[in-house]
Structure 1
Amino acid sequence: MFTYLNPEIRQRLIAEGKLVRLDADGQLIDVHTPEAPGELAINLLGPIPLPIALPSTQATVQWYAAVRSTELSQVETLASELRARGGQQLFSHLVSPLAVNSVLVVGNPTENPLVRVHSNCLTGDVFGSQRCDCGPQLDAAIARMHADAAGGYLVYMAGHEGRGIGLWAKAATYLLQDAGEDTYEANRSLGLPDDSRDFTDAAVLIKHFVGAEAFRLLTNNPKKIEDLQHFGLRDITQEKHVTGVSQWNKRYLHAKRSWGHKLDDEDI
């Protein structure tokens, strides 16, 4: 429940159908009913018209923000403490424990839409780093959906920086990579998994927006498909998504191919 919003605003958003709750199957459930212990529930806020301008396309998409109910409960406790202490600047502390995922609805999705589950990457998506291909993949995914008659959904996963290890550890792996290790070896040197991303929430959001229907997933990573299938999404067609290859990330892409990504010699 989005209770750290003004309660009157929260009720208005619920009445307008712009604040809803989803269960693990992506189905709407009562926003007022407390979830049982261990139960997965996701709060969904939107749609919000969002005009975007990327290198490859300009479009107006519909933005949805998604967060787990358990995380919101923790933030509400923190918000109450901050109110008691006073000081507007203290509310910046609410950002830290709250991983807010997003869904961009591109066009008017119909049968067999394109879907991209994109892990957030500050260095690539925001700074334009060429050490990875994340920024160009984000841009190209939206451009492909905008041009495709079936439209699409971009699920942006906020807690996936560095394949789930976080920005601080990712910075350390970059230093190790500069010393000669590849992206997976650097994770292991830090005692971290090769890939610790959790696609549970992505699967719930896809179930809500796409349902059990077929969709085309923009990815080169078979593990991402396997993870989504594990959560009950079966009718997935992989579509190769290669873009942004440069002299700065070829070694990175070769490491991804050795780990199982479907990349051919001509791709990289």
Structure 2
Amino acid sequence: MFTYIDPSVRARLLAQGKLERINADGRRIDATSADVPAEPALDILGPIALPVAITEEPLTAQWYAFVRRTELARVQDLATELREKGGQHLFASLTSSMAVNSLLEIGNPDPSREPLVRVHSNCLTGDVFGSRRCDCGPQLAAAIRQIQTDPAGGYLVYMAGHEGRGIGLWAKAATYLLQDAGENTYQANRSLGLPDDSRDFTDAASILKWKLGDRPFRLLTNNPKKLQDLAEHGLTNARRVKHLAGVDECNRRYLRAKRTWGHAISEEDLHC
């Protein structure tokens, strides 16, 4: 039985202050009700101490997990139905409709300074398998190292529903085959009838508002559109910081396509 569904565990987490709820503006709202609130909301579990082995120096980050309340409610309804029917072996299917995003609080973010922030789109092939077809894995590791060593500390927001710029892992695999036949990363999306970039940063904005309020911050990204998307959700106090890592012969073509699409990457950057 999933602990976030069991009512007794839920009550215990609430009492411990480990389960809370925020609205789209990052403000805390009542989390005691199991009903779906009238306004968009995220449920939060954490903080959870998370020793991280990516960096050379020892690091224990504070991990928070986020899920949209509407998605969690659908899963809870399905869990009730499965329990009534004795379908415990089907519980693994419950996670299929939920994108659980994460926040790592690294160091002790200084409220008087601009914390360093990375909003990272999940990439199984790069982040987990270490694929060099993209720069995602090195960017993730570099972001954690930079935030860890920055005097102001900061946050890493990990967006679980962003695989392949939002098209999902199966479609991403298909685009890789098209890229092997000569198309670039954006052409391959279009060949499948998919957008160049379908990522939604609504939840990322809510998470950052919850932690930062209206404080200024520095955003590790080469993508001006990411800055624009967050600004459209009210985060207008961000300053972009170039974030290059893992550039090599395997991903230069991919990075050149990103530069053509608008990323702030120079030809010199591709040979650093």
User: Shorter-chain TM-score category?
Assistant: over 0.9
Q: Distance in 2 between matches of 1:167 and 1:203?
A: 24
The one-character-per-residue Cα deviations of 1:48-93 (angstroms, maximum 9, x if unpaired) are: 0000101555410000000000000110111112212325432111
Check the 8 A contact 1:25/1:208 in 2, yes or no. yes
Q: Distance in 2 between matches of 1:35 and 1:9?
A: 19
Check the 8 A contact 1:57/1:142 in 2, yes or no. no
Q: Distance in 2 between matches of 1:163 and 1:84?
A: 38
How many residues align? The count is 266
Q: Of 150, 158, 167, which residue of structure 1 is paired with 2:152? A: 150
Q: Distance in 1 between matches of 2:158 and 2:176?
A: 23
Q: Distance in 1 between matches of 2:241 and 2:170?
A: 32
Q: TM-score, normalised by structure 1?
A: 0.96
CA RMSD of aligned residues (A): 1.4
Q: TM-score, normalised by structure 2?
A: 0.95
* Residues 41-60 of structure 1 aligned to structure 2 (within 5 Å): 41-54=41-54, 56-60=56-60
Q: Of 206, 209, 225, which residue of structure 2 is paired with 1:207? A: 209
Structure 1 unaligned blocks of 5 or more: none
Structure 2 equivalent of residue 80 of structure 1: 80
Q: Distance in 2 between matches of 1:48 and 1:4?
A: 14
Structure 2 unaligned blocks of 5 or more: none
Q: Distance in 1 between matches of 2:37 and 2:15?
A: 24
Q: CA deviation at 1:32?
A: 3.0
Check the 8 A contact 1:63/1:102 in 2, yes or no. yes
Q: Of 243, 246, 254, which residue of structure 1 is paired with 2:245? A: 243
Structure 2 equivalent of residue 257 of structure 1: 259
Structure 1 equivalent of residue 31 of structure 2: 31
* Residues 9-24 of structure 1 aligned to structure 2 (within 5 Å): 9-24=9-24
Q: CA deviation at 1:133?
A: 0.3
Q: Of 189, 193, 199, which residue of structure 2 is paired with 1:187? A: 189
Check the 8 A contact 1:4/1:79 in 2, yes or no. no
Check the 8 A contact 2:132/2:251 in 1, yes or no. yes
The one-character-per-residue Cα deviations of 1:122-162 (angstroms, maximum 9, x if unpaired) are: 00000000000000000000000000011110000000000
Structure 2 equivalent of residue 7 of structure 1: 7
Which letter does structure 1 place at the counterpart of 2:51? Answer: P
